[in-house]
Amino acid sequence: MMPAGFAAVETQLWLWMVAMIRPGAAFIAAPVFSAPSVPVQLRLVIALAIGIPSLSAVNFVLPDGGLATIEGFMLVLGEVLAGLALGFAVQIGFAAALVAGETISNAMGLGFSSMIDPASGQSSPALGQFLSILGTFLFLAVGGHLALAAIIVESYRALPPGNAWMPAESINGLVLFGGTVFAAGLSIALPVGFAIILVQVVMGMLSRSAPALNLFAVGLPAALLAGLVLLAIAAPVIGEGILAAIQMGLEEARRLALGGT
C-alpha cells in the first residue's frame, strides 16, 4: 500500500503524463521536431513545458480508475489522435517543397541523383533535399515552431482532454487538404519546370531536324544548365511558394485545433 504522503505525487505524475501525450504526438508528425537529429529527451521536455500550462487552463480530472481503464484508454487514444492530426496538417504543407523538388529534378534529368533525407531517413532527390532544407529555414524564420506550440495550446480549449475526438468534418477536411500538397508542389515547381520542358521541346525539334545530333550528349547538359540558371532566377518565387504552403499547413492545423470551425 502506498503511503498517504505519496498519493498526491502519483496523481501529479499521471497528470504530467497526460499533459505530454498531445504535444508529444504532434511532435512525432510535425516537421523539424520529428527529425531523427532531434533528441527524444528534448521532445519530451518541450512537450511537458507546453502540456502542463495547457492542461492547467482547462478543468480536467483523471478517471476514477486511472489510465488503466477503458475510459483512460479512450482518453489517451483521443489525445494521441488529436496531436497526430495537428502535426500531420503542418507536415502536409511542409511536404510541398519535397514534391516541388522531385518535379523539378525529373524535368532536369536529375531523378537518378538521390540522397538520404535526414528528416525521414528515406532516399529522395537531391534537389528535393535542397528545397526541404530551404523550407526548414523558412519554417523557423517565420516562427512556425512557435505557431505550432500556440496551436497545440489553443486545441485544449475546443478539444479538452477526455473529449478530444475530432468531428468527422474535421477528419474529412484534413484528408481533402492532403490533396493540396500536390497542387502546391506543382505550383512551386511551375516556373522552373515549365521552362525546362520548353528546353526539352526545343532539343526534340533539333534532333528531328538534325538526326545525327546526339540528343543525350547535348540535351541533358542543356537541361541541367537551364535548370540551374532558372533555379537561381526563380529562387525568390520558389521561397514565397514554399512559405505559402507552410502557412496553409499551419492554418489547417489551427482549424483542427478549433474543432473544425
In angstroms, how far is CA 60 from the centroid of its own chain?
30
For residue 260 the three cell numbers come to 473544425
Q: State the pLDDT at residue 117.
A: 59
215 and 203 in contact (C-beta within 8 Å)? yes
Q: What is the pLDDT confidence band of residue 71, given thresholds at 50, 70 and 90? A: confident
Question: Of 24, 134, 35, whose CA–CA distance to 87 is shortest?
Answer: 24
Q: State the pLDDT at residue 8.
A: 65
- For residue 72, pLDDT over 50 is answered with yes
Which residue ranges make up each domain of the chain? 4-257
- Give me the amino acid identity at 229: V
226 and 199 in contact (C-beta within 8 Å)? yes
Q: State the pLDDT at residue 261.
A: 59
What percent of the chain has a predicted confidence (pLDDT) above 70?
84
Mean pLDDT for 233-260 is: 87
Query: 180-226 pLDDT, tens per residue?
Result: 888 888 888 888 888 888 887 777 777 777 666 666 666 677 777 88
Q: State the pLDDT at residue 215.
A: 65
* 116: alpha, beta or left? (left if phi > 0; alpha if psi -120 to 50): beta
Position of cell 529555414?
137
Q: What share of the chain is helix, strand, coil (3-state, %, to 5)?
A: 75, 0, 25
Q: State the pLDDT at residue 43.
A: 87
Q: State the pLDDT at residue 2.
A: 43
Q: Mean pLDDT in the chain? A: 80
CA distance 33 to 255: 21
* 61: alpha, beta or left? (left if phi > 0; alpha if psi -120 to 50): beta
- For residue 69, pLDDT over 60 is answered with yes
- For residue 119, pLDDT over 70 is answered with no
Query: 1-42 pLDDT, tens per residue?
Result: 344 455 567 677 778 888 888 898 899 888 888 887 788 888
Q: State the pLDDT at residue 122.
A: 61
Q: State the pLDDT at residue 5.
A: 53
Q: Cβ atoms within 10 A of the Cβ of 217, count?
A: 9
- For residue 66, pLDDT over 50 is answered with yes
For residue 173 the three cell numbers come to 477536411
Mean pLDDT for 62-81 is: 80
10 and 70 in contact (C-beta within 8 Å)? no
CA distance 97 to 150: 24
Taking the model in full, what pTM does it have?
A: 0.80
The CA–CA distances, whole Å, from 207 to 100, 202, 224, 226 equal: 29, 9, 18, 18
User: Looking at per-residue confidence, does 147 or 194 come out higher?
Assistant: 147
